[in-house]
C-alpha cells in the first residue's frame, strides 16, 4: 500500500494537482479483467488524524478531476461548492476527486497502453459503474481513507456516489446524489445508443483502433450535439437562439442546394460544443463511460432499488434540477421513496436544464453546510 498523504496541514500535498496511483488488477463485472489499473486523482486540503474528514467528489460523463481551483490558476467545475471557505471547505475537509475508470484524464482507459505497450482501443473491456467504484475503493485504501465523510456527485458522478453507498455500506457517512435517479431508464439508454452509434459509424473509428491515425472527430462531435441538447432545456435553447441565423449566415439562402445554406445560430452553437469536446476528449473513452452509465442500476442483483439501499448506513442528500429533461426530477423522487426514512429531494431552480447541476450548484451550499458539512 502506498503511503497515505500527510495528515497534517504541514504535510499536505499540493491542492488540485493531478497524481496517479496504481490500484492493481481488476476483475470486471461484465466479464474480462484489466491486469493493472491506475487511477488519476487530485486532492485539496489534508486528511485529519483520524481520517474522518475525507470527501470524494465524482465527476460527470466528460468531466475531470479538477473540481476546484488549486495551486494553479485553472478554475474548477464546482468552485462554487468546493474551496477554502466554501460549503465543502478545503481548510477543514480533505477532498479527493478521481478520474473514472475508462476515462481519458489519467486513469486507465481505452487510450492507455496495455502490458505490451499498445493502446487498448477496441480491446478495452466493458466497465460498469460498479467496476469504477471498486477501483476507487482501492484508491481510498491507499490514501488511508477507511470511510468517507461524504461522497458527492451530479449526473454520472451521482450514480457513482449512490453506487458507493450501496457497494460499501459502511464506508460512506453521507451520499450526496444530484440530478440522477437509481438507474438509467430506457429513455437514457436510447439517447446513449444514438451517441454510441454516432461514434462507431465514423469511418475513422475503425472499430476503436484509430490511435496513430485520424480520430473519429465527426462522430464524437455528433454524439456531443445529441447529448448537449439533452443537457439543456428546450426553453433555454429557444430563448437563447430562437430562429436567428448565425452572424451574417442566412439559413434561408441556399442557391446551390441543400447542405450549403447558412446555419441557424443554434447549429453554430452546437458545432462549437462539439468542437470543444473533440479537442479535449477521447472517443473510445466517451463510449466506455457512456456504456458504464447505461449500466447504472444500483438495484441490479441486489433485490431491487429499495433493498440495495436499505443496507447502506449513509445519510442521503438528494437534489434534482427542476428543468432537467435528461434526469427528470421524478427519478430523484423515486429514488428518495426507495430510501429508508424520509429523505427530501432538494430542488435546484434553473432554467438551463440538466447542466444546472454544474452552473447552479451553489444553491445547495447552505443546505449542504447544515446537513453534511458541519465542521
Note if 307 is an active site residue: no
Q: Is 71 in the site for its own copies (CB under 8 A)?
A: no
Residue 23: closest CA among 12, 35, 7, 5: 35
- Contact between 135 and 37 (Cβ < 8 Å): yes
Contact 325, 355 (CB under 8 A): no
Please count the residues of the chain: 375
Told to judge if 155 belongs to the known catalytic residues of this protein, a careful annotator would answer: yes
Residue 212 interacting with its own copies (CB under 8 A): no
What's the chain's Rg over C-alpha atoms? Answer: 21
Q: What is the DSSP letter of 16?
A: T
30 binds its own copies (CB under 8 A): yes
Integer CA distances (angstroms), 312 to 154, 166, 315, 343, 345, in order:
19, 5, 8, 14, 18
- Work out whether 241 is an interface residue with its own copies (CB under 8 A): yes
213 binds its own copies (CB under 8 A): no
Q: What is the DSSP letter of 113?
A: B
Q: Looking only at residues 352 through 371 of this chain, which bind its own copies when binding is defined by CB under 8 A? A: none
240 lies in the site for its own copies, by CB under 8 A: yes
For its own copies, which residue of 113, 190, 366, 375 counts as binding (CB under 8 A)? Answer: 190
Q: Which of 155, 184, 285, 312 is catalytic?
A: 155
Distance (Å, rounded) from C-alpha 89 to C-alpha 44? 9
Count of alpha carbons within 13 Å of 310, Cβ hemisphere only? 7
> Taking Cα atoms as reference points, which of 25, 213, 28 lies closest to residue 119?
213
Our finding on whether 237 is near its own copies (CB under 8 A) is yes
**Does residue number 229 form part of the binding site for its own copies (CB under 8 A)?**
yes
Nearer to its own copies, 104 or 173 (CB): 104
For its own copies, which is the closer residue by CB, 218 or 318?
218
Binding stretches for its own copies (CB under 8 A): 29-32, 110, 122-126, 128, 183-187, 189-191, 193-194, 196-198, 200-203, 207-208, 218-219, 222, 225-226, 229, 234, 237-238, 240-243, 251-261, 264-267, 270, 284, 287-288, 291, 294-295, 297, 300, 325, 328
Amino acid at each position: 500500500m502506498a503511503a497515505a498523504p500527510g495528515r497534517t496541514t504541514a504535510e499536505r500535498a499540493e491542492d488540485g494537482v493531478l497524481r496517479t496511483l496504481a490500484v492493481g488488477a481488476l476483475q470486471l463485472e461484465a466479464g474480462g479483467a484489466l491486469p493493472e489499473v491506475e487511477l488519476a486523482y487530485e486532492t485539496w486540503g489534508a486528511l485529519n488524524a483520524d481520517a474522518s474528514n475525507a470527501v470524494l467528489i465524482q465527476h460527470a460523463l466528460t468531466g475531470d478531476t479538477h473540481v476546484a481551483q488549486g495551486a494553479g490558476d485553472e478554475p474548477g467545475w464546482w468552485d462554487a461548492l468546493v474551496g477554502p471557505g466554501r460549503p465543502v471547505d478545503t481548510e477543514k475537509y480533505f477532498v479527493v476527486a478521481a478520474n473514472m475508470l475508462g476515462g481519458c484524464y489519467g486513469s486507465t482507459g481505452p487510450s492507455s497502453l496495455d502490458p505490451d505497450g499498445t493502446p487498448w482501443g477496441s480491446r478495452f473491456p466493458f466497465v460498469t459503474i460498479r467496476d469504477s467504484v471498486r477501483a476507487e475503493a482501492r484508491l481510498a485504501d491507499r490514501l488511508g481513507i477507511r470511510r468517507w465523510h461524504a461522497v458527492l456527485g451530479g449526473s454520472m458522478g451521482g450514480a457513482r456516489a449512490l453506487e458507493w453507498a450501496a457497494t460499501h455500506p459502511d464506508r460512506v457517512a453521507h451520499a450526496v446524489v444530484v440530478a440522477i435517479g437509481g438507474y438509467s431508464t430506457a429513455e437514457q439508454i436510447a439517447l446513449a445508443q444514438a451517441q454510441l452509434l454516432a461514434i462507431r459509424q465514423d469511418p475513422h473509428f475503425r472499430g476503436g483502433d484509430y490511435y496513430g491515425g485520424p480520430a473519429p472527430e465527426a462522430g464524437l462531435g455528433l454524439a456531443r450535439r445529441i447529448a448537449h441538447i439533452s443537457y439543456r432545456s428546450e426553453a433555454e435553447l429557444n430563448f437563447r437562439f430562437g430562429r436567428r441565423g448565425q452572424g451574417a449566415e442566412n439559413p434561408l439562402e441556399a442557391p446551390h442546394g441543400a447542405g450549403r445554406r447558412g446555419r441557424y445560430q443554434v447549429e453554430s452553437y452546437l458545432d462549437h460544443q462539439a468542437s470543444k469536446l473533440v479537442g479535449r476528449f477521447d472517443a473510445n473513452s466517451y463510449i466506455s463511460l457512456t456504456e458504464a452509465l447505461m449500466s447504472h442500476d444500483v438495484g441490479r442483483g441486489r433485490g431491487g432499488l429499495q433493498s440495495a439501499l436499505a443496507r447502506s448506513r449513509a445519510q442521503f442528500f438528494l437534489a434534482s434540477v427542476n428543468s432537467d429533461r435528461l434526469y427528470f426530477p421524478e427519478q430523484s423522487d423515486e429514488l428518495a421513496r426507495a430510501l429508508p426514512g424520509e429523505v427530501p429531494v432538494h430542488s435546484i431552480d434553473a432554467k438551463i436544464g440538466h447542466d444546472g447541476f454544474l452552473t447552479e450548484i451553489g444553491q445547495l451550499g447552505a443546505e449542504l453546510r447544515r446537513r453534511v458539512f458541519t465542521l
